[in-house]
A and B are shown apart, each in its own frame.
Chain A
Amino acid sequence: MSEDSNPAATPTPCQDIQGDGRWMSLHNRFVSDSKGKEPDVLFVGDSLVQLLHEFEVWRKLFSPLHALNFGVGGDATQHVLWRLMNGELDHISPKVVVLWVGTNNHGHTPGQICGGIMAIINVVHQKLPRAHTLVLGLLPRGKSPNPLRERNASVNAVVQAEVVSLSHVSFLDMDPGFIHSDGSIAHQDMYDYLHLTPQAYQRVCQPLHERIKSLLDKHAP
């Protein structure tokens, strides 16, 4: 699918509809952060990335790995793509880029969302040819079974298949089993059936931390 025909893979900044310019402020801060810092790990994505930074788990597991957090709430693949193409990768050389985005791509098909994720992977590879991109699977959402759960699961399946042959990319399923036997997701795990509670972050971040460490260990010096 060409970028022209896939809105999820067409770099698009967020329009400031509300009037306080917050999206651009965040982007500009990330660009200037990238001039001053030397992260080994870069997290990029939507609110699931952004909120991670605000909880204790970030300080415990990811700060020690010299990680930067470029998450922006509400971002879909096309927004992350724009950000990465417009300065956020220009002055850093992380060894691992952790990408978690796609759940906000409303109105896009799993194929389009996967195309968006692949476009991001390609930009990362162009700008950081020695970095490894770790793509995180989309989590289920909503209290009960619903079409978005199916969409996210489809995205994961398609992305996983696409990256299996790429040596500079890997995929990590982030769902430790949030869906109970009755099909429900508990608010103790997702307080609004989308965003993770601190204890749910603890659960999903353990394997993530392990995977990042092993990628860092394998990275050529």
Chain B
Amino acid sequence: MSAEENPAAEPAPVIDVQGDGRWMSQHNRFVQECKDAEPDVLFVGDSMVQLMQQYEVWRELFSPLHALNFGIGGDTTCNVLWRLQNGELENIRPRVVVLWVGTNNHEHTADQVAGGILAIAQLVMTHLPKSKIIVLGLLPRGEFPNPLREKNAAVNNLLRASLPRLGPVQFIDMGGSFVHSDGTISSRDMFDFLHLTASAYRTISTTLHELLLQMWEEMPQERRASLV
């Protein structure tokens, strides 16, 4: 599916309907952070990414890895695509980009969402040819089985099949532990049946952190100059 056919792969900023310009303020801040910081890991995505930074586990596990967090609540693949095309990949050379987006693409089909995520991965590969990419699977949501769980699972299946073909991209699905045998998700894991609690973030962060350390081992130590 080409970008012309896939609305989920069309870059689009968030229009300020509420009146306080918060989305653009956050984007501008991230662009500035790219000028000031030298992250080894860049997290980019929606509120699943953004909220992570507010919990203690970020400071413990990811700050020491020189991680930057470019998550914005509510973002779709279109919004993330726009942000990355408009400055959020400039002046930085992270070893790894962690991408977590797609659960807010309510207007799009699973095929389209997967295509949008692929488009973002391809954009990152073009812009940062030496970086590895980790794409996190969309988590299940809602207290009980519902169409959005099916949709997110379908997106994950499409990604699982297509992402490794791109090369430096890994797909990690961490949603398995959240659905109980009776089909429910607990508010102890997702306080609103969408966003993760501190303990749930700790669970997934441990896995992600181990993977990052592993990738550090596998990547040759490059002097900063050679990355530019």
Q: Determine, out of A34-42, A78-86, A129-137, A139-147, the stretch whose residues face the partner at the interface.
A: A139-147
Interface footprint category on A: 20 to 34
Type the 1/0 row for B14-40, where 1 means its CB is closer than 8 Å to any CB of A.
000111111001100100000000000
Interface centre among B18, B26, B194, B197 (most CB of A within 10 A): B18
- Interface contacts (Cβ under 8 Å), in number, total 88
The segment out of B122-130, B140-148, B155-163 that lies at the interface is B140-148
B191 x A194 contact (CB < 8 A): no
Interchain CA distance A141-B26 in the complex, whole Å? 13
Q: Are B22 and A21 in contact (CB under 8 A)?
A: no
Would you call B22 and A141 a contact (CB within 8 A)? yes
List chain B residues, Cβ under 8 A from A191: 50, 53-54
Pick from A18, A26, A192: contact of B22, CB below 8 A: A192
Chain B residues with Cβ below 8 Å from A56 are 56
| B19-A53 in contact (CB<8A) | no
Question: For residue A19, which residues in chain B have a CB less than 8 angstroms away from its CB?
Answer: 142, 146-148
CB within 8 Å of B: which of A171-217?
A: 187, 191-194, 197-198
Q: Are A149 and B20 in contact (CB under 8 A)?
A: yes
B202 at the interface (CB under 8 A from A): no
Contact assessment for A187 and B19 in the assembled complex, using a CB-CB cutoff below 8 Å = no
Chain A: minimal CB distance from B213 (Å): 26
CB distance from A195 to the nearest CB of B (A): 8
Q: How far is the CA of A50 from the CA of B73 in the complex (A)?
A: 15
Closest to A29 in B: B187
CA distance A25 to B190 in the complex (A): 12
* Contacting pair A192 B198 (CB below 8 A): no
In the complex the two chains form, is B193's CB within 8 Å of A193's CB? no
Q: Establish whether residues A193 and B147, one from each chain, have CB atoms under 8 Å apart when the complex forms.
A: no
Does A119 touch B at the CB level, under 8 Å?
no
B83 CB → nearest A CB, Å: 14
B72 within 8 Å of A (CB atoms): yes
Bound Cα distance A192, B143 (Å)? 27
Task: Decide if B26 touches A20 in the complex (CB within 8 Å).
Answer: no
Query: Which 6 A/B pairs are nearest by Cβ-Cβ distance?
Result: A142-B20, A20-B142, A143-B25, A25-B143, A146-B20, A20-B146
Sample (16) of A-B pairs whose CB atoms are under 8 Å apart? A18-B148, A20-B148, A20-B193, A25-B142, A26-B192, A26-B193, A29-B143, A50-B191, A54-B198, A55-B54, A73-B192, A106-B19, A142-B19, A146-B19, A191-B54, A192-B22
